[in-house]
Homo-oligomer: A and B are copies of this chain.
Amino acid sequence: MERIADAADPRLADYRELRDAAARRRIEGDEFFIAEGPTSIERLLASDHRVRSVLVSEQKYERLADLLDPLDAPTYVVDKALLRHIVGFDLHRGAIAAADRRPLPDLAHVLATSRRVAVLEGLNDPENLGAIARSARALGVDAFVLDPTCIDPYTRRTVRVSMGEILFLPSCRVDAAMWPGAALDAMHDAGFETWAMTPADDAVDIWSLDVPDRLAIVLGAEGPGLERRTMASTTRRVRLPIRSDVDSLNVGNAAAVSFAITNRP
């Protein structure tokens, strides 16, 4: 454990200005990601990502010492005001860690090692992506396949809202040349059915379908939903039955309900 009192200390470089606007300007060059709060940090330590360091307030260090002291990476302890000054906002949970990114797996690897995948198109809300990662992990999904426009899955808020579960979910990114046709074809060639989730009345009721051995649940962003081209390249269009005068479920709930139903005993 190393106490730091100087805001300019270079050991704090990973933690400077983490607010989203600042983070977005920087993200392309980042070699690392941030996990916030005791739960996400605990999950980070349980994962096989290499931790660079942990930064905690004095108070939080007292509570987390048993977790942090055995760690093969430095723990920096600062006072609360300095913590706020460095990260640029009020870090209620008082604990934050930086860890190395790893190269994302490619689609072939994901398809060879998974039975259930969630395919996400145009998901650009970090909290939605984090919530979907948490329910995907909980409900039997093995990996994410992200279209070229989805947000970075290692975004700070995504890691936080996922409660660190995104760190256990292999996520591959399909490039623009392969999306959607070639990527969905590759899934079909690997033995996957692809189900395009939609609230459209003429889609097939999810409860009426047998769940195949290999399944990709394909979800679009709240509002626009899936692109027509994407929908046309999937095995079938599938709907969750909802009350007729309700427009739709939010995308996080639609994902969780789809994952749960296709994971039924």
User: Are A240 and B260 CB-contacts (below 8 A) given A137-B246, A138-B246?
Assistant: yes
**Size of interface on A: residues with Cβ below 8 Å to B:** 33
Cβ contacts under 8 Å, A114 to chain B: none
Confirm or deny: A253 has a beta carbon within 8 angstroms of a beta carbon on chain B.
Answer: yes
**A23 CB to nearest chain B CB (Å):** 21
Confirm or deny: A24 has a beta carbon within 8 angstroms of a beta carbon on chain B.
Answer: no
CB atoms of A135 and B253 under 8 A apart: yes
Which of A46, A138, A257 gathers most chain B CB within 10 Å? A138
CB atoms of B39 and A139 under 8 A apart: no
Cross-chain contact of A257 among B242, B260, B265 (Cβ < 8 A): B260
Q: Which residues of A contact B (CB under 8 A)?
A: 39, 46, 131, 134-135, 137-140, 163, 165, 168, 205, 207, 240-243, 245-250, 252-253, 256-257, 260-261, 263-265
Q: List 28 A-B contacts (CB under 8 A).
A: A39-B247, A46-B245, A131-B252, A131-B253, A134-B246, A134-B249, A134-B250, A134-B253, A135-B249, A135-B250, A137-B243, A138-B246, A139-B242, A139-B243, A139-B249, A140-B243, A205-B265, A207-B264, A241-B265, A249-B256, A252-B252, A252-B253, A253-B253, A253-B256, A256-B256, A257-B260, A260-B260, A261-B261
